Structure 1
Amino acid sequence: MKFHATKTKDKLFIIFKYFTSIVCYYLTEGQQLPAYITENSPGCINTSVTSWNIPEDFVVHLKKETIVICTLAGIPGGDPFIGINLDYRDRISCGIDVNQKQTFICFINAVNISDAGVYSAELTVSSTVFNNTLYVMRPPTKPVISLQGDLINQRSHNLTCSAVSTSVPVTGLLMTYSWTDDGAAITDPRFTLSGQGNNVLMINRVRKEDKGKTIQCRATEDKGISSVTSDQTILDVLYTPEVSTSTPSPYKVVEGQTATLACSVTAANPNTDIRWSWIKTDSPSSVLHTGPNYTISNIQRNQSGNYNCRATNSIGMSIPATIHVDVQYKPEVSTLTSSPYRVVEGQTATLTCSVTAANPNTDIRWSWIKTDSPSSVLNTGPNYTISNIQRNQSGNYNCRATNSIGMSSPATIQVDVQYGPASVIFSPDIIIINKTENQTVTPVYCSAVCNPNCTYLWTGVTTVKSGVLDVKVLKRTMRGDYTCTASNTIRSTSRTISVYINYPPTTEVFQASGNKIYEESSPFNITCEVDSYPFSDINILNIDTGEVKASGGPLESLTYSESSAKCYHAASYTCNSKNSYGSTSSAVQRIFIFCRPRPFDGQSNINTGIKTNEGLNISATFIAYPPPVLSWKFRKSLTDVNKTLSSEFQISSVTLNVSTVQTVLTKETLNQEEFGYYTCSHSD
């Protein structure tokens, strides 16, 4: 081993000032730092020898592993000696700083890979050896970017950059990584670095726009140099299909026609093995079709709605494309007016229709017709008003609605104009029946024109709850007025027929007022009621006198009245009646008047002349009630006292009527002595 010896007057560390690329630094006490020198670059390895006691005549050997490459010797009073291994001549310089207790080996031009290794410093008078390591730093291997799995849209993915250190010996230093996006520093906030030395690039929520980006990385070893840039990794973002429809939305189609809905894929990766599905959004679990085009034959209104088409590839299912299908149809109408609609004649009828369903439900046009005049449009609004409606306007009315699709089926309202009977009709058309009792008559029919139908009621002499008056055989009790009333909910109307039944008179009542016994001067009356038709001529006759006390006619009744009863009114009375069909007399009615006896003729004296031996026959008539007790007496002169008559005289009394008594005095022959005054007296 040969050494190159040199001397210098300067301190040993001054040597380093000539090597601008050499990093020279002092170690703190007890610190031993490895040397990291880039391949083909100058640099130094320092070894701290802190525990040595260095004499003036020291000898220090600096070794690489077992080979001494530099010897340093101190000469008391002279310059130090430096010896360099010839293999390292012109490559290194070396030295020692006695004060700082550090040794130095500096590579003047470039370090090569063979220089890497462990270096030691040995003091000949010390057993302590100090070691340090020189690491020759080389670029890491070309990085490799790896991606686990496919890069899928909207998911987060990690790209890993891997490189291997080529420094000698293995440093164990941290490898750091830098990344570029399309050759520029990454600024997208979705791109974040993590992992050891930022070896992981995480793309948060990959976008399909990331497809085609070139990602590269470089590795840099700590205290070393960077690797070359990795190969480009071109992002291939896989994503679910994107679909669109060429069918306009809303898609308007007329009910009953065929609807065709079309979808297509506008983007997908991969764009192979595309599977389709169509659903109606209100029934998402029911797949309607599995092709890009969906055809609905004879479409109905309940098929209106939103239809979604989706495409699926190996990544997943697309966001749906939605088509709103608007199935249009002509209106459907109903009436808010009850049918039949009943209205009273003369009132106002209001018929109302409404659209219950229509699509479109705009620009609705209305028409009203009466079905028996379909060509005449009565109104063009949803409500039809008929003022002062008349019965001839009864019938069926149709309302229809029309939109851009067509005209609705009609809603029909039956209008029932109701009216009461204006008049009553008799069949046969008579208002009088004039027949004789026990004759027969044909029925009389009562009818009227009315809506709703009328009910009929005959009232009067009898009640018949029908429209037929059938009396059959006429009886006097049937005489009178018969009224037929035709009624419905609107009103009632009546008409009367008079039935006259002719029959002879019958005395129904012949009756005096009170108890038939009256005080003199008190009033009384006698009434006679006669049943006959035609009405009779009636008179009330005093049978006793033959005097007609009252008469009149034609009448149903007649009353004979006296305001002050007299004795002579006491009598028997009868009622006589007569019409063209016969006559009759009533039973006798007796009237009694309380009165004191008095001569019938009002005379108190009667002079009668007779001859001697002729018979006597005189009478006296008295009015009185109750009948008096009469007696006869005789006196020769007015001054004589009345004497009772002998039995030769015969006395008899006769009641002429209820209030008149006649007494008769008779004797076969009357002598001279029997001429004088005969007095009839009474007691009561």
Structure 2
Amino acid sequence: MQFAESPGTSTFLSPSDTSYTLNEGSMLPSITCSAECRPGCLFVWTKPDNINFTASPVLSLGQLDRTKTGEYSCTSWNDYGFHTIKIMLNVQYGPGGSISLSPSRSTYTENEGYPLPRITCSADCSPECNYIWSKQNEGNITVGSSLVLEQLNRSEHGLYICTARNEVGEATKQVDIIVKYGPGIIQTSVPNLDKVENQTVPVINCSADCRPACSYTWSKGAATYSNPLSLSTALRGNAGTYICKASNSVSQSVKEWTLTVRFPPKILSLMYTQGNADITENASKSMVCTVESYPASTITWYYKANNTQLATISDVLKSTYTLSNGGCLDTGLYTCSARNSVSNTPTTMDLPVNVLCKPRMDFRSNSMQNDIRIGLSKDLVLNASYLCNPEPNFSWQFHKTTSTNLVNGTDRISIDDIFNGSSLSAVSTLTRPSMEERWLGLYIVTVTNSQGSHTHLYTVAAEESDTELSSSAKKKNTYDTLDPGQVPIPILSDDVEAQGNPSNEINSEREPEETAEGGKETNTYMNVEFRKQSKFHRIYNTIYSIKDIRIETENPYANVKKKKRRRKKKS
């Protein structure tokens, strides 16, 4: 006789494993549930959600996926009871396409210095994934699911990759971080240049590290140029500081680049500080010379007539020279000469200075005499040599008992006037050939220009024998007997000497005499100032009053007075 039997605890599995861990996509082997029971048992497999999966003792899941993870139950039962046995199925899977970022943006664009929001990487993994952030071409930068970049700098620009990984597999997610920044240090392809004028200048390229890329412009003053800067040739007009400006949407920056062009001096102007070339004697005249050159020039001033160096000033572009207390012989051209290190050949420019001076006897000439002894029938030649500016007029007079103006071409008079504008020498030569006794007497030359006048006297007498001359020389300051109205002629003896400054002076007078008409003759007198020259004495400055004739000249010497002595008539 058979007894009824429930499944009790006799339910078992084949294979007998109660736990399975398999990767997603793999196959779970068929699991058969059996039990000893009478009458025979029925079997049912239940899913993890307690839903009957199959009414069969065999569990067959096919290719596993993550949804099949869970606890499966096999229940056997008959009319007398039931029994359940369970298995655990763990389906492992990698992150696959489940990896994601939060925030979900794949691109961030921020300016340098700004913070980047925290970016978190996550994925559905079994078992749980590990996370690593890396930067393209640089390797791992952080372990963990979050990317934290606080204040961005340009080095953090790039592609960042989150990798989620477990023992089943891995997956990645990328985020592009664009760090924008303006130009930092601007570079030029060629450093500052120092060139001699007309040398070649290479092309100058301006560049900078910028994101986004910079645009470039060159400027010099108000002029603008494109990049690269192409000047081709070093010209003085190209010299100076050029500015390269690099700019983008973030910021801009500038860099200076300098082209130095060295060139020899050019005199731009040479002029008087005021007025024209003319100055009066003892006045001053200032001249200013302006030069263009690089480097600055050494300016030298010269008096051109004898190439006398007057002044030298170094490292300047402008120089002023002042002629102080201008004298007659300071008239002439004044030269501004400029040179610098570029050329050894100076550049020059001349400017005239015209010192106006009244006539005075030319110390450079010894041709003027006071006492002239001449034989009758010989030619009389009187030279009047003067230093003056501007050109003077000469007038000649002859005085014996009366005064006569001497005119060229009359009474055998020849007068030749010459003025040399370079040396300021004015010479008047009076020639009277075949002298006659009636032409012996006082010859007076007066020289006049816009600045004043000067008068000189020549005493022309007949030659004496050696004996007479010796006898005359022994008498001190004697005079020939003169007819009424005739100018007294001093015969100066050798022992009268100039005393320096003040100088010697001879005063000679005679009392007025009765005239033929019964009236009184006008006092005739002579003040003679002279200086000794060897054995002879020059009558330098004289004031004559001859009836209604009066000639005044200037005397730089003081006076030594001699009393008048009448010359005795020869017996």
TM-score interval, smaller chain: 0.3 to 0.5
Which structure's CA Rg is the greater one? 1
Instruction: Report the TM-score, using the length of structure 1 for normalisation.
Output: 0.40
Instruction: Report the TM-score, using the length of structure 2 for normalisation.
Output: 0.46
